[in-house]
Each structure stands twice: as C-alpha cells, then as structure tokens.
Amino acid sequence: MLGGFTTPFFKKKGDIGYYLVYRGVDPNDGTNAVYIASDTWKKATVAKEKKLHPLEPWLEISSEKSDWDGADPTLLHSMLVQLHLIRAFEETVLELAGEGLVHGPAHSSVGQEGGAVGSIVGLRASDAINGSHRGHHQFLAKALGYVAPNGFDSAAPVTPEIQTVLQKTLAEILGLAQGFCKGRGGSMHLQWHEAGCLGTNAIVGGGVPLAAGNAWAQKHSNTEDLTVTYFGDGAVNIGSVLESMNLTAAWDIPLVFFIENNLYAVSTTVEEATAEARLSGRGVGFGVTSLRVDGMDPLAVHLTMHKAADIARSGKGPVVVEAEVYRFFHQNGAFPGSAFGYRSKEEEASWRERDPLTRMATEMISRGHITQEQVDTLRAQAQAAMSAAAAELVEQDPDGKAGVRRIKPDLWPSPDFVNVGVRGDLSELAGAKTLEASTHQGESESVRFVDAVAAVMDRRMEQDPRIVILGEDIHRLKGGTNGATKGLAEKYPGRVLGTPISENAFVGLGGGMALDGRFRPVVEFMYPDFLWVAADQVFNQIGKARHMFGGESPVPLVLRTKVAMGTGYGSQHLMDPAGIFATAPGWRIMAPSTPHDYVGMMNAALACDDPVLVIEHVDLYADKGEIPVSDLDYQIPFGTARMVREGSEVTVLSYLSMVEKTQQAIDQTGMDAELIDLRFLDQASVDWAAIEKSVQKTNAVMIVEQGARGTSYGGWLADEIQRRLFDHLDQPVLRVSGGEASPSISKVLETAAIAGVDDIVAGLEQARTNAGGGR
Amino acid sequence: MATVIRMPEVLAGAAEAVISQWMIQEGQEVAVGDTLAEIETEKANVDYQAEEQGRLARVLIKPGETVEVGAPIAVFAAAGDTDDDIEAALAAAGGADAPAAAATEPAPTAEATPAPAAETHAPSSPTPPPAPAEQSPVVQNGGRIYASPLVRKRARESGIDLSQVTGTGPGGRIVKKDLESFTPAAPAAPAAPASTPATPAPAPAYSQAATGEAGYTDRPHTGMRRAIARRLTESKTTVPHFYVTADCRVEKLLEARTQMNEATGVKVSVNDWVMKAVAKALMEVPDANVIWTDEALRFFNRADIAVAVAVEGGLLTPVLRGVESMSLTQINHEVTRLATKAREGAISQAEIEGGSFSVSNLGMYGTDAFQAILNPPQSGILAVGAARDAVVVENGELVAGKVMTVNLSADHRAVDGALAAEWMKAFRHYIENPLALLA
C-alpha cells in the first residue's frame, strides 16, 4: 500500500480534514513526504523541504584495541582499584541492609561502577560532581580520587586516607554522627564539599540546576573547572534536567550532563517512557554536544569524558554524555530485578558478562599490567578494608543471637541535633551597622520605593562583586517590569542575567551558586505564584540544603518577588508567598513596608548566609519615603519588628502594604490600636519580644494580611500566639485576610477577594465587640 | 432503648458534681427507686435514684471523679438492648454537648425556692432586660463559665470567683473589662451567717502572695468553698442589707436554761432558746416572715429557720421546719441531728433548702457582736453574740447584768426598717422573758 515506504521516519498519524495522512521519507531524495490514504495511496503535494542539522554533533564513542594498548598503566591501575573499592563498598552496604542496619533505601550501584570511575578518574580536585539517589559510586570515585591525587596502587590499594573515606561514607549511609553529613544525609545525600562532592539528591533531576549554578560559579571565577551532574534515565524527561540543558547551553556553562542509562526507572523501561530511547538525543535540541558511550567500558567512558571536558573547559558550554550501564540488582536491596519480574535472568546474565570489573581486569591481564592472582588479592584487600570499616560501626548485638549485629549505640547522632542548622546562627551579621528610620539623625531625602530597591542593589553590587542578579527581563525594560533593577545591567555587565522562562532552573542555578559560595545570587520571581513552578528547587533544594547536608553549608541566596494584588493579573499571579515560605524550613522572610526599611533589610539579606525571601508589593513601588541621603549601607536590626503606632486596645500585626491600610483603618475607627509592622516573617526571625510585650499590654491580637486565606501567613502565627500568650488573651486571635479563592481578573471580584481597609475596619470593630464592656 | 444518664444538676447553679460512689455495679439490674449512685455536690450528698427499670449497662465515671453537670455518667439499658444499642446511645451522647444535656435534664431541678441568682437582678423591671441572661452565664451555659484565658488567669491569681462576674463579651464571655469593673464582695470570713469557727486561717492565700516574699501555699477551692463565696458575694452585692441591733438582758434566760437543763437532763443551749424566740417573733410579726421574689412577697405560715453549722472547710445551713411548734428539747434534738449530718457530709439537698430566716451564733466563741450576711433568698438573719457580764442601768442605777447583743440583718426589699424594729422588739421580749417561750 505504501509502495516502497515501509518504514516511515515519523510514525505519527492523524486525521486531517477528510484524509488519513501518513508522513514518511521519500527514499529518492530523503525529504519528508506526506501520503494521503484514499482509495489509493498517493503522495500529496508538499512545500519544498530542506534538511536541517543540529548545531552540535551527536556522537557515539567506543574504545578501540589501540586505546587499551596505549592507555597509561597508572590510569588503568587507578580505575581497577577504584572499581574494586566501590564494589566491595556496595556489597558491604547490601550486607548491612540485609541485616536491617541501613535505615531507608540503599540504592546499589553494583554493575554501574564503570561509568562513575571512568568519568571521574580524569577530573581535577577542583572539578565538582553531584548525583542522584543512586550516587555512592560517584561520590566514592570523586572522594577517593581527592585523597589519592597521585593515583592508586593495586598492590597496596588502601591507604589510611582511603580507609577514612570508606568509613565516613559508610557511617553516613548508616545515619551516624561521624558521617560526612553527620548522619543527616544518609545514602541519598552524600556531600563532601572540599572534595568537590556537591551533594547527591533524592529528587530525580533535582540536583541538576544546582550543578549548573556551581559550574556557573566556576566559569565566572576565571577557572577552567567544570561540574559533572549524574542522573539516570528516569530523569531525562523531567523539567529540572531539560530546563538546565537549555540554560547552561544559552550561557555556555561548563556542565557535563552525565546520563547513567541503566535502562530501567525502577521497573519502567526507557522504551516505555520515551520515544527517543537514545537519551543523549535530549541534548541535540538544545544545541549541546551529545556523546554516547558504553558505560560498562571504563576506558571508553574515560575517553568520552576527556572529550567532553575539553569542550566544557574551553568555554563552549555544556556536554551531554549518555553511558549505557546496568544495575545488577533491583532499585534497592540485594535482589536482582528479575526477582521482581520486569526483566529476565538471561538479560541479567548477559550484562554480568560485561561487568566493568571483569572487563578492566581482563584487558589489563592481557596486556601484562597485572595477574589474576593480583586482581584476586586486590579484591580481598578491598573487602578487608570494608570489613574493617564496618567493624568500627557495628558490633555483635548483646541481645541477639551470635552473628546478629547492631549499630554501636554511641555512634548515633544525639537526638537534640535534630533541628540544629535548619538555618545559620546569623553570626555573619555580628557588628553590622544598623539604623532605624526613627533614630536617623542625618539628612534624608524622599525617594520612591522602587527607586530605593534599585538604589540599594546598585550600592551593594558596587561594594560586593560577588553579587549577581538573575530573573526574567530584569536586564531590559529599564530595570525589569517595574524598574526595580534600573540601571544595573548597564553598570554591571555580566552580573545582571536575563533568564529564560524557567524558574525551576534559574532559581536552582542560583542555589548552586550560593552553595558554591563564591557568588551571592539575587534571584527575582516576576510574580510570587511562580514559586510553585520552581517548588522543588525553592523548598526541597535551597531551603533544605544546609540542614540536610549536616547544618553547616551556607546558602546565601536572596529571592525577590513582588506581591501584585490589585493589578488584575488574576488567579495565577496574585498570591502572597509569605505563608508558604513560613512553613518551609530554611528560608528567612522579609517584607519591608517603607523605603528606609527596604534598604536596611536588603542589606541584611545580602549579608545573611541563609536563603532570604524579600517580598515587595507593587502598591508600595510608587510610594515615597525618606531614606538617608548618603548612607545605603545600614541594616535594619535582624529579627526586629517596627512599632508603627502605640495603643492599648488591640495589637495589630501586619506587614508590607497592609501596614499603611491598617493605619487608615485605625484612624477611621478611632480605636486606640497598637500597630506593629512585623518586617521579618519567618518562624525564626519573627520579633516575639515585641509581640509578647504588646499583647501583654492589650490582651488582644489581630493579624492583618491581604491575600487569600488558604495560603495565608497568619495561620501559623495565630497558632503560635495562642500557644505563647494564651493566658494573656482576652479574646480570640483575629485575622483579616482575603477570601478562599485566588483573586480573579475581574476588577470587582479581585477587590472582593483581597482584604482592604474596610475589612480591617470590620476586624477592629470585632475586636472592640470582643472586648466587651457593653459598648 | 439504651439511654445515657447524665450528671444531674442536683443543686441549682451547680456546675459540677462528684460521684462519690456507685451503689449499683455495672451490669446489675435496677428497679425503679433503687439508688444508683451517691452524688456529692458543693453542699450535699444526694442519692440518685433510678426512674426506670432496667440495667446499669455502663458506668462512665469513676467514684471521686468530678464531672460537669450534663456530662454522661452512665448508660442505662432496657430489656433487650444489645451492646450495639449501648454503643449507639454513647455515640449519640458524644455528639451532644452541654446544652443538649440541659435539655434532657429539665431545667434546673429548681426546687420550691427559686434560684436566687437570676432573680435578685433588676427587681422592679417588669420586662427583664436581656442582661440577666448574660449576667448569669452559670445558668445559661449549663454550668460552664465562659471567660477569656486572660480573665481565667487573673481570677485564679486574685481569687475572684468568676461565677460572680458578669460577662459582657460575645455570648456572655467574661472579658478583661468585666474583671476590671468588678468589685468583689468583702471577703466573707467574719460575716458568714455561721457559727463557723471561721478560723481566720485561710486568710486568703492571695493576700500573702500579693505582699511578695512571704511564703504561702494555695489550697485549691472545694465546691463548698466556691459555693459559699458565690452565694455570699451574690447576697452582699445584690441584696440591700440593713441592720437592727439590740442589747438583750439575759439573766432570766440563763436562769431558766439552768433550771430546765437540771430538770430535764437535756443540755438545751442558749441558741436553742434563741431559735425558739426567733420563731415566736416571726409568728407574732408575720409580716417579717417573708421573702422577696420577683413577682411577689412570699409569706410563710410557719417558722422555718436555718441554723448555720460550721463544718470542715466551710459551713452548712440546715433548716428546722416549724420551729414555732417545737419544744426546746425538740429544737435541741433537731439541731443536733442536722448538725451531725452536716458534719458527716450526709445532709440532703432538701434539708438545706427553704426557710425565711437564719440564726448565726458566734457567742460560744466569746464574740460580743457581729453582723451577718443574708442567706438568700431568706430575708432575715440574726447574728447572736455572747451573753456577757455588763454594767447596765436599771432604775437609774448602775448594776451588774447579763447582756447579749443581737444584730438583725434584713432584706430591705421585703422588710422595712419599722417592721424590723417591731420584730426585734418581739424577739427581745421573748428572749428577756423566757417563760413566755414556754407558753
């Protein structure tokens, strides 16, 4: 029926008009052709076609006999030693898991060692890697390489430094205090910054934007270092990965996307998950050089990585490497995948024949670099090293039968370590110069709020070359959509980065920069609701990073966004993010209501080693306020609220633009309300001293905010107030907020959905009624 | 059908009560009139009797446990009820709360004597303003006092009985303003209508706390303590008291008592004579034998007189009925009987209700004279001092005599000054001429 065209290039078909259309390739000229199913198949008339080619090549690389012949024996010995150490390590983990001593999953890399070892053995100490939930082998390869800068000796494979790395890594996987992350990270969050191990990640693809940020920092620190981010076939279809491919390509960031294609995402096959099962093909669409290699051949991987590194180090941007590997076991645990029925024993046997350890040994033995006996000895030594490491951590269970082991009890972290390091201790702010508007003595000038936003950023960028700002359109339109970055792009070339529309990638990139520490990123979300688009990076990664990796990694990132209620942008642009961030550990939140406070709070945010959300409000941008004429360097004392109006009847807690609206409402009612501008909103920074003092005086509290009730901020605060101040409350904690629905486009509905002066007046009157006295 | 039994409001206005013991064990069959349990309220122990025949299927409250009035205390099963029926009844009860409970337990078991609290307000208003309802949240809320956390804390710290405070917040909630405008009645101690030893011991702990350093201990209030505080505060703050005092010559009375005791072998006390004199005076001045109610003055045709009895931790005022027709020895027996029951905690609600008048005698402690607080809804209380040696003027000469000072506190709404004076005159006549008491 199709004549000569039995294998159409495109298999898609669909109904167009009355015709069933088949697309195919004309074998005569290789162009696309369209065939219409009618009584007889006939080629339709199509416009002239021209074949397009990817910007960058897509290549498959394999090792030749000559490569093995010419390989440096030292390199081969190093790879063989690493392969055996990692294999022995993983076998020990499986053994302990089988005894119930590994809490949670331990994703074994047995079978996949070749990809990690081959790709990492050639890296520099100052290069960096991160990885995913299956990351022991990559972590070990980088960490072992770091403590053995001169290579490995297969006759004496285990130095004291190596023994230490093995034990600390095993301890971390067991959740013990002596682990790299003090037991916090476990199997899936292995970090050793010093060795270039940025931290493995349990969110599929979640580590990729962070790696991009690290690579950005490497490039802009004038090094030729690079970062490799490892992830599996399951991650190639997720936004974090694809957005990062685009972003790093757009900005020539030296990041190697290393796909460990082990053919199964748990039990789902690659072919089931994607039409293009040659996963390196992902890079082609983004203009990224893409390489494919047999991951069971460590030398081939090494050679492929060598090529990738050349590209990345020379400033040509990212590279995608796809290594086809095979995990010998199931997703986790010591059973093969065939036991779960999604693949066959025959398939597993065929891959086992390609075991990278065997391959490496065979090639080396055949070239006289080593004997089988020596290989056997190497394996025994690796196993002995792991037995020794385990013996430091586990012991015979005194209550169990012979051979039943337990964790040595004194090795666990102390339970009171549980919340240590959710945030930093703010010691970095010690000695900062602070200035409140109320105490400012010098000359002042009146400026628009939005100009104060741009002015303080200008001042900080001028003083601190580490500051880089990124966001959508911030480099154009005379300072972004609202003028908040006015003049900065011209003044600080290369430090004001207009991003593609991919919040997850660019905020994650900021997170990677912050974790690296050489830069201080300021990320802008044009509208707060985009936090949902970027939620993984914002909450899972940036917010949790310090705590998850042991409590000591600073994450100095500032996230700016503007509340835009009242502008008609509708349901998906008009939230107040404070409530959501307040429930997410790790973040600090600031919400300034005056230009003076903005300057001082942004200065504090940019000096702080924690991620800080700075919330602005479009209603405030045009408002004028006084700031000191020649001082843009002061900070607002961290964690302090501002007393706006003293009063006796009720304490009103508010922030941002609602402070002014509350003032108006108080004036309207004539109530003697005490108004406090909270300014610092996160659970660790709220000024409890001020709140407690006020409520103990007034015995009544009202929390005023503008946005929708569901995601609103006041809920947790009301909860905490009743807990802390129960015996001082003479009436329920009152809350003024918007309605349940997100604000709509329709002006009337929008107004109805958000809280305004009238709502605050009603709230104040309720407070008055609640106070009794028969009025 | 299985029914949930709730804690009855044994005493008007009582917010809570204690099951002192179950007389029927779980699972036992019960006949109408059987005592299910003994319930201890602030003032009395009450036998709680079965109103239906059936089986006590579940006991929900342990002996000694304090529960709110209206709270489920047991499940009663009729013949044929299954466990499921019982569970269903329990589940249904769980959904209902205090108000519902009040509904099944009709109104306050408010006895013949009207609950004073609500009635003492706005005496002359024909259509009561909405205030009274709110002003007695105790009644309105089925025993629960609504007060803000701040108010609860402050009341706790300064020993204020919140049942005395009128709430003006939403739903009658007592709020800070109410506490600030509340003037507590002078501490009840000396004025208690009681022969209470009122050992000034519990000179309230809070006063010591206020002075700072002095160490103190807090003794948690008993139900009785709270009831005394509430009722007397209510009385002193809502009933217009006025006072009539008389010094009575009692040489003859003491002589007659001595002779009579010798003759009968019964140790009739001075107080028994006083009781008798009070009864006679009430009969002779019937306009004084009266109490105030919102709608009317209620006149009594016999002399029911309460006598204050000091008991551990407070006082009780059992009522002697028909004292006018009792002999002195009967009075003596009856007072002794009731006082014993009171001290043993065995007195019943019925025995402490009613009466138009009380006698409080502190003479045995050597007190010369004092003024007592009315015991609502009664309209008179006589505070009796000690019979003491005194110089008196007799026919223009100073002579040694025996004098007993008595002080009548009267409710001016029911009893005017002249009437009180008339009554006092009659009383004095009888007490100074004891033979007339025997007539």
Chain A's closest residue to B130, CA to CA, is A774
> Looking at residue B75, which CATH number applies to its domain?
2.40.50.100
pLDDT in tens, A92-125: 999 999 999 999 998 999 999 999 999 999 999 9
Chain A's closest residue to B166, CA to CA, is A773
Residues B322, B385, single domain; the answer is: yes
pLDDT in tens, B31-40: 877 888 877 7
Task: For residue A730, list chain B residues with Cβ-Cβ distance below 8 A.
Answer: 148-151, 169, 175-176
Q: Summarize the confidence of residues A495-500 as an average pLDDT.
A: 97
- For chain B, the C-alpha Rg in angstroms (whole number) is 24
B177 contacts chain A (CB < 8 A): yes
Q: Which of A699, A727, A772 sits opposite B168 (nearest CB)?
A: A772
Q: What is the pLDDT of residue B141?
A: 46
In this structure, what token pair is assigned to residue A110? 């047995």
User: Is residue A45 very low, low, confident or very high in pLDDT (cuts 50, 70, 90)?
Assistant: low
Q: What is the pLDDT of residue A40?
A: 55
Q: Summarize the confidence of residues A198-225 as an average pLDDT.
A: 97
Within a domain: B192: no
One of B221, B333, B412, B429 is an active-site residue; which one?
Answer: B412
B176 contacts chain A (CB < 8 A): yes
Whether residue A728 and residue B167 make contact (CB cut-off 8 A), yes or no, is: no
Look-up of token digits 């009436």: A731
pLDDT of residue B105 exceeding 70, the answer is no
> Looking at residue B145, which CATH number applies to its domain?
4.10.320.10
Whether residue A771 and residue B170 make contact (CB cut-off 8 A), yes or no, is: no
Residues B66, B145, single domain; the answer is: no
Lowest mean pLDDT among B71-80, B96-105, B167-176: B96-105
* Residue A536: φ, ψ to 5°: -60, -50
- C-alpha dist (Å) from residue A476 to A470, A525, B285: 12, 15, 103
Residues B25, B144, single domain; the answer is: no
Q: What is the pLDDT of residue A13?
A: 54
* Residue B419: φ, ψ to 5°: -65, -40
Residues B295, B363, single domain; the answer is: yes
Report the DSSP pairing between strands A264-265 and B357-361: unpaired
Q: Can you spell out the DSSP letters for A233-301?
A: GGGTTSHHHHHHHHHHHHTT--EEEEEEE-SEETTEEHHHH-S---TTHHHHTTT-EEEEEETT-HHHH
Q: Which domain holds residue B383?
A: 227-437
Cα distance between the two ends of chain A: 91
- C-alpha dist (Å) from residue A306 to A224, A357, B18, B35: 14, 21, 86, 96
Residues B341, B402, single domain; the answer is: yes
Residues B302, B424, single domain; the answer is: yes
In this structure, what token pair is assigned to residue A720? 């905490």
pLDDT in tens, B351-389: 888 889 999 999 888 899 999 999 888 999 999 999 999
**Final residue in a domain of this structure, among B40, B75, B104:** B104
Q: What is the pLDDT of residue A25?
A: 67
Within a domain: B221: no
Task: Decide if B38 contacts B19 (C-beta within 8 A).
Answer: yes
pLDDT of residue B116 exceeding 50, the answer is no
Whether residue B177 and residue A728 make contact (CB cut-off 8 A), yes or no, is: no
- Number of structural domains (chain B) is 3
Cα B407 from Cα B380, distance rounded (Å): 10
Lowest mean pLDDT among A82-96, B132-146, B226-240: B132-146
Residues B75, B120, single domain; the answer is: no
Cα B319 from Cα B317, distance rounded (Å): 6
Residues 707 to 726 of A: which have CB under 8 A from any B CB?
726
A731 contacts chain B (CB < 8 A): yes
User: Is residue A209 very low, low, confident or very high in pLDDT (cuts 50, 70, 90)?
Assistant: very high
> Looking at residue B275, which CATH number applies to its domain?
3.30.559.10
Within a domain: B191: no
User: Is residue A654 very low, low, confident or very high in pLDDT (cuts 50, 70, 90)?
Assistant: very high
Q: Order of strands, edge to edge, in the sheet holding A19-25?
A: A13-16, A19-25, A32-37, A42-43
Mean pLDDT for chain A? 94
Residues B312, B239, single domain; the answer is: yes
Smallest CA-to-CA distance from B329 within B264, B284, B383, B282 is with B264
Within a domain: B214: no
Q: What is the pLDDT of residue B120?
A: 34
**Residue A268: beta bridge partners?**
A265
**Residue A469: beta bridge partners?**
A496, A522
Q: What is the pLDDT of residue A37?
A: 60
Q: What is the pLDDT of residue B14?
A: 65
Helix (H, G, I), strand (E, B) or coil at A566: coil
B28 contacts chain A (CB < 8 A): no
Q: pLDDT over 70 for what percent of chain B?
A: 79
User: Is residue B100 very low, low, confident or very high in pLDDT (cuts 50, 70, 90)?
Assistant: very low
pLDDT of residue B126 exceeding 50, the answer is no
User: Is residue B124 very low, low, confident or very high in pLDDT (cuts 50, 70, 90)?
Assistant: very low
Residues 131 to 170 of B: which have CB under 8 A from any A CB?
148-153, 167-170
pTM here? 0.68
**Final residue in a domain of this structure, among B79, B104, B129:** B104
**Final residue in a domain of this structure, among B81, B104, B127:** B104
User: Is residue A21 very low, low, confident or very high in pLDDT (cuts 50, 70, 90)?
Assistant: low
Q: Order of strands, edge to edge, in the sheet holding B29-30?
A: B3-6, B72-77, B54-59, B29-30
Domains and CATH numbers, chain A: 1-52 (no CATH), 60-408 (3.40.50.970), 427-628 (3.40.50.970), 645-770 (3.40.50.920)
pLDDT in tens, B243-284: 999 999 999 999 999 988 888 888 888 999 999 999 999 999
**Strand residues in A494-646 grouped as ranges (E):** 496-498, 520-525, 558-563, 588-590, 612-617, 624-628, 642-645
- C-alpha dist (Å) from residue B156 to A731, B160, B162, B183, B198: 18, 7, 9, 16, 22
pLDDT of residue A701 exceeding 90, the answer is yes
User: Is residue B51 very low, low, confident or very high in pLDDT (cuts 50, 70, 90)?
Assistant: confident
The H or E element that residue B58 is part of is: strand B54-59
Q: Which of B156, B166, B175 to mutate to test the interface with A (most CBs of A within 10 A)?
A: B175
Q: What is the pLDDT of residue B199?
A: 39
Rounded to the nearest angstrom, the minimum Cα separation between A728 and chain B is 5
Task: Decide if A763 contacts A705 (C-beta within 8 A).
Answer: no
User: Is residue A632 very low, low, confident or very high in pLDDT (cuts 50, 70, 90)?
Assistant: very high
Within a domain: B194: no
Whether residue B169 and residue A699 make contact (CB cut-off 8 A), yes or no, is: no
Q: pLDDT over 90 for what percent of chain A?
A: 90
pLDDT of residue A435 exceeding 80, the answer is yes
Q: Which of B149, B152, B169 sits opposite A772 (nearest CB)?
A: B169
User: Is residue A267 very low, low, confident or very high in pLDDT (cuts 50, 70, 90)?
Assistant: very high
Within a domain: B422: yes
Whether residue B150 and residue A772 make contact (CB cut-off 8 A), yes or no, is: no
Q: Summarize the confidence of residues B281-303 as an average pLDDT.
A: 92
pLDDT of residue B341 exceeding 90, the answer is no
Residues B343, B421, single domain; the answer is: yes
Residues B70, B157, single domain; the answer is: no
Within a domain: B236: yes
Q: How many cross-chain Cβ pairs, A to B, lie less than 8 Å apart?
A: 50
**Strand residues in B211-264 grouped as ranges (E):** 241-249
Task: For residue B149, list chain A residues with Cβ-Cβ distance below 8 A.
Answer: 726-730
Could you confirm whether B333 is annotated as catalytic?
no
Residues B429, B319, single domain; the answer is: yes
Q: Select the highest-mean-pLDDT range: A488-497, B72-81, B355-364.
A: A488-497
Q: What is the pLDDT of residue B12?
A: 56
Task: Decide if A745 contacts A568 (C-beta within 8 A).
Answer: yes
Q: Pick the residue with more confidence: B393 or A541?
A: A541
Task: For residue B152, list chain A residues with Cβ-Cβ distance below 8 A.
Answer: 727
Q: What is the pLDDT of residue B94?
A: 63
Q: Summarize the confidence of residues A734-750 as an average pLDDT.
A: 96
The H or E element that residue A69 is part of is: helix A65-70
Residues B387, B268, single domain; the answer is: yes
Q: Summarize the confidence of residues A12-41 as an average pLDDT.
A: 60
Q: Summarize the confidence of residues A13-38 as an average pLDDT.
A: 61
Q: Summarize the confidence of residues A671-700 as an average pLDDT.
A: 97
Cα A601 from Cα B204, distance rounded (Å): 53
Helix (H, G, I), strand (E, B) or coil at A404: coil
Q: What is the pLDDT of residue B197?
A: 39
